[in-house]
Chain A
Amino acid sequence: MEFIVIVIVYFLIIFFDLIPMFKKKQIKEAIIYSVIIIFTFIIITLKIGGINVPSPYKLIKNIITSIT
């Protein structure tokens, strides 16, 4: 169920923001935009699906505890 909500929200974002950007020929912004959208979509979907995405938190914790 959450997946449907995520898909709807992404679809709305793409429809209202990304497509007009392509139409207005702002290519550079559109490419950065789409890269970020695809990246976040994949990771959020994985997280909802239950797959354990490695979090940077553990990395930071290890670094800091090794310093102090």
Chain B
Amino acid sequence: MPKEIISSRQIIASIIAFIVGNSVILGVNSELAQDSWIALIIATILIIPLILIYARIIKLYPGKDFCQIVELLLGKILSKIIIILFIWYAMHLGALVLKFFSEFTKISALFNTPEIIILMTMTIVTVYLSKSGIEVLGRWSIIVCTIICFLLILTIIFSIPNMDFNNFFPIMNHDLKEILKSSFDIFSFPFAEIVLFLSMASSYSQKNNPYKIYLYGCLLGSIFLLSVIIRNVSILGVPLVKSEYFPSYTATRLINIGDFLTRIEGTITINFIFVGLTKTAVCLIAASKGFTFLFNLKDYKIMIIPISLLILMLATIMYNNVIEMFEFIPIYSIYAIPFQIIIPIIVWIVAEIKNKKE
């Protein structure tokens, strides 16, 4: 199988798409309303050591996938257990994104379509994207990143008449404990999901600097999120931001230029579809690579279709309705700790020890 290489720009673009991800529609975690930008900044500071750890793991073993690194460090049996956990996390995340997407589409546009059809069509396109390989995913991310940038700037410019910066006062209305909890939520969803990019590490070309890539990706992504927060809070105001399920969507609904350019929230769905595809495709590739490692198969592309079916199945049985889905978000930050933090730290520590020995 010829080696697929993606350039650093493409990785940065896909990291940005990943992070910006659901916030296009959902908005960033808006429990704190006017203080959520503080939580975002704290979350960005918190993520930096973690991504330095990820980058260090890649730098110590250049050209190898996460699965191969784990096998090198921890032996066969322990690595298989860790990879099983990794696969479960990737599939769960993919199912979460799919479910968000289908719920949003059902609520806002296609009321009568049975949800399995929506899920299935999205899955089909994701399978096509993943089967095309990592190179195509890289080029695709650049297009997606451009579209996100463009639409975000467009919506911000169009919403300027609606913005009211008084909504940001009073600052620091919440006490520190709440802010820290919220920043931890933002930290784990969406930032720390970058752990999935470790599984594509064999495609990073050797001369790329993984530190630079991850740092640029996360910083640019957090600038995006910051602008999203500013736009949402300044347009909607405190009570609306807290209570809406989809704050970004509602914020774009209010755009009204000269009575002509109204109701352009349909174009936001373009954004969401492309980003959702990217995110699910990365999860799918990560899970298939894990699977091929688990069963010693040769090529990860064979496993893409069955794993996509597994993700589809998970998406259908996971939640019964929208409310359960939104209840899951606070739990998610704690549930994801072992996958996002503990496993990489273990791998890193073992890698450093082995490195010191040599």
Mark A residues whose CB is within 8 Å of B. Answer: 1-2, 5-6, 9, 13, 17, 21, 26, 28-29, 32-33, 36-37, 39-40, 43-44, 47-48, 53-57, 60-61, 64-65, 67-68
Contacts and interface: CB of A to CB of B under 8 A. Distances in A.
Contacts of B324: 57
Contacts of A32: 295, 297, 303, 306
B306 A37 contact: yes
Interface residues of B, number: 26
Contact of B117 (A5, A36, A68): A5
A66 to B, nearest CB: 11
B316 A47 contact: yes
Contact of B328 (A29, A61, A67): A61
Contacts of B312: 40, 44
Interface in B276-331: 295, 297, 302-303, 305-307, 309-310, 312-313, 316-320, 324, 327-328, 331
Nearest to A16: B305
B331 A47 contact: no
Contacts of A6: 116, 120
Contacts of A5: 116-117, 120
A53 B313 CA distance: 11
Given A33-B306, A36-B310, 7 more contacts: A5-B120, A13-B309, A32-B295, A43-B316, A55-B317, A55-B319, A55-B320
B335 interface: yes
Contact of A44 (B297, B306, B316): B316
15 contacts: A2-B114, A2-B117, A5-B117, A33-B305, A36-B310, A37-B306, A39-B313, A43-B316, A43-B317, A44-B316, A48-B114, A57-B324, A64-B331, A65-B331, A67-B334
Contacts of B116: 2, 5-6, 44, 48
Nearest to A21: B302
Nearest to A41: B309
A61 B327 CA distance: 9
A60 B335 contact: yes
Contacts, number: 73
B239 to A, nearest CB: 27
Contacts of B335: 60, 64
A67 B335 CA distance: 10
B328 A36 contact: no
Majority secondary structure of chain A interface residues (helix, strand, loop or mixed) = helix
Contacts of A53: 317
A55 to B, nearest CB: 5
Contacts of A64: 331, 334-335
Nearest to B316: A47
A64 B328 CA distance: 11
Nearest to A68: B334
A40 B297 contact: no
Given A5-B117, A32-B295, A64-B335, A55 B318 contact: yes
Contact of B309 (A26, A37, A48, A65): A37
A60 B331 contact: yes
B177 to A, nearest CB: 14
Contacts of B334: 64, 67-68
A37 B295 CA distance: 17
A29 B297 contact: yes
A40 B309 contact: yes
Nearest to A42: B313
Interface string B190-209: 00000000000000000000
A53 B318 CA distance: 9
A40 B222 CA distance: 37
Nearest to B306: A36
A67 B324 CA distance: 19
A67 B93 CA distance: 22
B313 A57 contact: no
Contacts of B327: 61
Contacts of B303: 29, 32-33
